[in-house]
Amino acid sequence: MTMGVQPLQVAALNLIHAAARGPEDTVKALLQGHGGLLRNDFDDADLSTWIGRVDGVESERIAEPLSKVDCRNNRLAQMALDDAAPRAALREAIRRFGADRIGVFLGTGTSGIHTTELACREGRGAMDFQLPASFSYRYTHDTYSCAAFIRRLVGLLGPAVVISTACSSSAKVFPLAERYIRAGLCDAALVGGVDSLCLTILYGFNSLELLSSEPCRPWDAHRSGISIGEGAGFALLVPGRTGVALVGYGESSDAYHIATPHSQGEGAARAMREALSWGAIPSEAVDYIDLHGTATRSNDAAEDQAVSSVFGPATPCSSTKGWTGHTLGAAGITEALLSVLAITHGIMPGSLNTRTLDPARCSRGLGRAAHRLLDELALCSGASSAPRRASERYPCDRIRGTGNGPARGLVSAQPLGRQTGLSGRSARRRACGPILGRGCRQDRD
């Protein structure tokens, strides 16, 4: 069944992660192969692993009158919004639509839980375990605290919703924003996600024996686990199809297992097929898939099955976790915006740190090097050397998480002279982030 959505163009974006701060530095990191993973030095976590810690968070401060929301998670959000371009775009959107007609839709996994961890540490020093008077669950740990903070920070008054479905959290904000706009509840949306390092996540994944003792190696024959990261990203969505735009999405819920993916990736495949159906886009029109690619044995294998069942064995795909680490609740927005940048700059990121692609895979994985989409697409996909028409190409973003359902989204764009890529990730609370495209005009009756 072919469906349709309200096309929403990406009017502005910004992101921050371990490898870079901002779009320009991110593209440089992708092209130069400079990742952000380092040996674990977070707090007092005595774990032999690598993490994607964002520089400068410890020295960042949230000023009055919003200082009561000061925590690592909200600092990351503030850093991601501290850029002239998205702020100018937001001011223009407020002038055009009104502050009360712009919604805020965010995803986060653990929110400001590190503040709670620090408060508990301090409370343990008292005989009767008293949390410090300065601690506020409402303004730091509560998942909504970030949305409330951002609304005040940028002056928005429209509806605000926070989604917390593990790794798919900030992928699901795209379909949610589209539905709110289509229902007339708002006219534009600031979508995003933020998640920060904390002891609970590090020790939790360590107890599951999923942390890697080296920088993660997605889809590698000898991959050994996850590198936990942190990050934040935001995109302003407004009605229209200029540039890169959301044109569809898909969601599914398999409820297979709280932490282990279905071995054939059935829920993820359903979400991807629905995303393609939304935009009436054939799977062969996809140039590149950005994988969730966590570098665990089971995730990568299940994702390979899902991707190959929908797209076949020829579409190039890779994971960017080697640059950023697994940013958990911010993974959806991070991968979606990396996909936007891949499209607008005509590149296909490689899988940083991957040395030997798993020979058991069915999909066509890329190695460590980034590829120029126009110049090297044919080489990577095994196609002829003739470039394909931009009007025929699309990209997609895929997310997987330890929830119970997947979601997917599609993005297309007006012709701007380049082919497009597909970014993909599957989520068990599956969120198919946007299928993104530059030069993806659709002419329909």
Whether 362 is catalytic is no
Peptide bond into 65 cis (omega under 30): yes
- Tokens matching residue 48: 């032999």
Residue 392 and residue 417 in contact, taking contact as beta carbons nearer than 8 Å:
no
Whether 345 is catalytic is no
Whether 167 is catalytic is yes
Task: Give the separation between CA 285 and CA 392, rounded to whole angstroms.
Answer: 6
Task: Single out the catalytic residue among 326, 345, 371, 440.
Answer: 326
Amino acid at 352: L
CA 81, 428, 304: angle at the middle one, nearest 5?
Answer: 100
Instruction: Name the residue among 59, 197, 68 with its Cα closest to residue 140.
Output: 68
- Burial (CB count <10 Å: 0-12, 13-18, 19+), residue 245: buried
Task: Give the separation between CA 79 and CA 330, rounded to whole angstroms.
Answer: 14
Task: Single out the catalytic residue among 17, 114, 141, 292.
Answer: 292
Give phi and psi for 317, each to the nearest 5.
Answer: -150, 155
Task: Single out the catalytic residue among 71, 167, 317, 380.
Answer: 167
Task: Spell out the residues 6+ positions from residue 226 whose beta carbon is closer than 8 angstroms to its own.
Answer: 205, 210, 211, 212, 216, 294, 295, 296, 321, 325, 326
Task: Give the separation between CA 171 and CA 174, rounded to whole angstroms.
Answer: 6
Give phi and psi for 249, each to the nearest 5.
Answer: -160, 165
Residues recognised as catalytic? 167, 292, 326
